[in-house]
A and B are shown apart, each in its own frame.
Chain A
Amino acid sequence: MGRASRRDLLFLLVILLPLVVLVAALIYYPALDTFLTSLTNENLRIRRPPKFIGWSNYAKLLGQSEFWTVTLRSLLVVALTLPLELGVALGLALLLTEVFPGRSFVRTLVLLPWMLPPIVNGFLWGWLLNGEYGALNGLLYQLGWIDEYVTWLRNPDTQILWVAVVQTWTRFAFPTIILLAGLQSIPTDLLDAAKVDGASAWQNFRHVVFPLLLPSFAVALTIEFIASFQIFDVIWTLTAGGSAGGAINPFTKTLMLYNYELVFRDLRIGLGAALSYLILFLSLGVAIVFVTRLYNQSVR
């Protein structure tokens, strides 16, 4: 190895070392510590030294019906949110790629819900949907579409549906930007060639635009899957309740709320740490499927 390349290597190490140390200290060490905690019976409510209990916390969670209920509910939120969110995002991205007066303003406007913290969106929608004095009831009543005010969040099924709507409202801007970027990277000569060949707008979209948009779509899908699967703020503010004892609405309890309940409310740190890892593995599993099936396939 020459002196120059040794110097390059040294420079590389100097540049990388602080980053490696930071990532290790802020991500890998806490992750490792959380994993080790998940193998103990640590409970902050009981002042005792934590005892190593092996995989018991994992076995306990996997053997509980509550874990599977909240997992299925999390998947339901994903199943309701993703098509809605990506459908809206795709539609808006296609619209915003066109040239029209005020396009920049509309593009900025689209970002607005994303710029608001999800907590604010949750409260905002809570007020809109309030059955006694909510704006939605007021509007529909004025239009004559309802005869009396509706308690939109009364029923557990509609609660989940509204959670999906509010999550869509909160998040749609991000996939819109990704898809818009993807659309703008499609070479225009391909689109022109398809037009010359007599392709209709739908055929153009179906056979040219969408296949080329798939890598962006896969990225948006993966990120939004994780965001929906790990939904917390919107549910917390919209339907989780919030009484003095820290009760959580059992009908909209998803994995992250269950994790909050175990770690921060009940202070069962060991069990909560195990749940965190189960959530990580579940998210990772689905993300891998999305990436390998969609992204890699489309890139190939």
Chain B
Amino acid sequence: MLSMRNALLGALCVVLLPFAASAQKITFLTPSWGVPPDKSLLESFQRDSGITVEIQSVQNKDLFSRVQVAAATGQAAADVIFLTEEAPSNVVATNVMRALNDLAAKDPLEADLRGQEFWRVDGELYGIPVYSQLVMMDYNQARLQQAGFNAPPKTWAELKRMAEQLKSKGIDKHPIAMKASDWSWYLIALSMGDPMFDDELNPVFADSGSKARQAMSLLLEFFSEELISPEIVAGTVNQHSIFWSGSGTFHQGWQGSIRVGNNPERSKQAPNVAYMVLPEAGNTWSFPAAIGIAENSKNAEAAWKFIRWYTGAANQKSIYNAFGLYPSRTSVAAELNGEGAIAGYGEIVAQADRVNELPRYTLWWGPFTAKVSETILTAVQTGMSADQTVDQLAEIWNDLKSEYE
């Protein structure tokens, strides 16, 4: 009996040995929305490739410091790193990501994978695009019509007037869903036509009479007149959750946000949300995401296989369906559009023509943009004037620039 059991165990070992030898484990560090939404797809990748993927989901702000601290000690925080919108300054510019040119040379990327240039620095490719993004605005059409307006605003002053009407008529107590943060100011300033920085990275946003100063003034008025919910200032909610919970008519969204806004399971604004092309000059900036390999990863080949699967059509489609994040593959976007899954395609295309990139690859962009949010919050809470706020931001920029240059 015993010898038979030993024989069975031995046979089992012989059968399993090749699998054990080929099994490889990689780690993937990502914010929550980078976790592959379709578990069965991931399982089939693991089964087919023999690569086990350990996913470490962390807060976006902790992701950068983990990567940096690990790199400083010669380690990789994880083999594969999800590169979010602030990654260019915080991770790529600080040289802690591996250049992918050699891997892409062996396994060329398909032509329909858009946005590769964004992740290329001095000819080296650091990230494979996962989704394309623009900061956009959407709004509740029904609520606007209820206030007597048939079209979205063409200027920021008009938007403010509409918001005041919505509030005074009791239709919407807090008609604007924006945060007391960097993005709100960039959005209004760029949309008004301010370039923010010149070619030498001087902060032209602080020029006398600049549109960025007007933008700051307008943003602070939104808060002082409580056109934006004070709960945003309290910090317990963000602009998205408050809008989807039903408060707000104008919402700072993104390319794909109406997919969530019009989902009745996730939003009380459904089915009335539509994009609006940004007012005035209408410029915005892009914040694409990518996926790359940590500089000190010892599993680059396996990591590359995972990246190729991750940026493949099936996973991109499932990411769009789960989060409304617009696929970087043109073929997937076309397929989704053909299926009628991409709502507001016309506005997305129109908005994509008006992009004024912010200098996000500068080494000091990360600390600067965090300070922008803190300074705006201070101005909202203390009543600091728009001019003082902008002057303070220019001073912060110049100090950081001289320190890092």
Contacts and interface: CB of A to CB of B under 8 A. Distances in A.
Interface of A: 44-47, 126-127, 129-133, 151-156, 159, 239-251, 264-267, 269
Interface of B: 59-62, 64-65, 68-69, 71-72, 84-86, 94-95, 179, 181-183, 229-231, 233-238, 242, 245, 247, 363-364, 366-367, 369-374, 377-378, 381, 404
Given A132-B247, A241-B373, A154 B234 contact: yes
A250 B68 CA distance: 24
11 contacts: A44-B94, A130-B237, A132-B245, A151-B229, A153-B236, A244-B61, A245-B61, A245-B366, A247-B377, A265-B61, A267-B68
- 9 tightest A-B CB contacts, nearest first: A247-B373, A153-B234, A246-B61, A264-B65, A245-B370, A151-B230, A245-B369, A154-B230, A131-B231
A240 B61 CA distance: 12
Nearest to B371: A247
A153 B234 CA distance: 5
A251 B61 CA distance: 19
B84 A244 contact: yes
Contact of A250 (B182, B233, B377): B377
B245 A133 contact: yes
A46 B377 CA distance: 28
B69 A44 contact: yes
A45 B68 contact: yes
Given A130-B234, A151-B231, 10 more contacts: A44-B72, A45-B363, A46-B404, A130-B236, A245-B86, A247-B374, A247-B377, A248-B374, A264-B62, A269-B72
A244 B372 CA distance: 12
Contacts of A247: 181-182, 370-374, 377
Nearest to B61: A246
Contacts of A156: 381
Contact of A132 (B94, B182, B229): B229
Nearest to A128: B236
A127 B235 CA distance: 11
A247 B378 CA distance: 12
Given A245-B182, A247-B374, A126 B72 contact: no
Contact of A129 (B68, B71, B236): B236
Contacts of A266: 367
Contacts of B229: 131-132, 151
Mostly, the B contact residues are: helix
B374 A242 contact: no
Contacts of B404: 45-46
Contacts of A47: 94-95
A112 B229 CA distance: 34
A233 to B, nearest CB: 13
Contacts of A251: 377-378, 381
A265 B370 contact: yes
A102 B85 CA distance: 56
Contacts of A239: 234-235
B65 A151 contact: no
Contact of B231 (A44, A127, A132, A269): A132
A292 B85 CA distance: 53
Nearest to B90: A45
Given A47-B94, A153-B234, A154-B230, A250 B86 contact: no
Contacts of A133: 245
A190 B404 CA distance: 69
Contact of B235 (A132, A153, A264): A153
A266 B270 CA distance: 40
A47 B234 CA distance: 37
Contacts of A267: 65, 68-69
A151 B72 CA distance: 42
Contacts of A129: 234, 236
A249 B375 CA distance: 9
B69 A249 contact: no
A265 B367 contact: yes
Contact of A242 (B59, B72, B95): B59
A44 B235 CA distance: 29
Contacts of B71: 44
